[in-house]
Amino acid sequence: MPLSKKFTYADYLEFPDDERWEIIDGIPYMLKYRFFLILKSN
């Protein structure tokens, strides 16, 4: 992906569904790990 371009939500919608991406200030970031929240009851 060219980084000289500011990415928008419209660009985000074109990203592959099997990858997790975020766009922050026009820069795409690929999230490599999935985070899980585990709640423990006392």
For residue 9, what pLDDT band results from cuts at 50, 70 and 90?
A: very high
d(CA 30, CA 22) in angstroms, rounded, equals 7
Secondary structure letter of residue 21 according to DSSP:
E
Longest CA–CA separation in the chain, Å = 51
> Could you give the percent of the chain with pLDDT greater than 70?
69
For residue 2, what pLDDT band results from cuts at 50, 70 and 90?
A: low
Domain boundaries, the chain: 1-42
What pTM does this model have?
A: 0.60
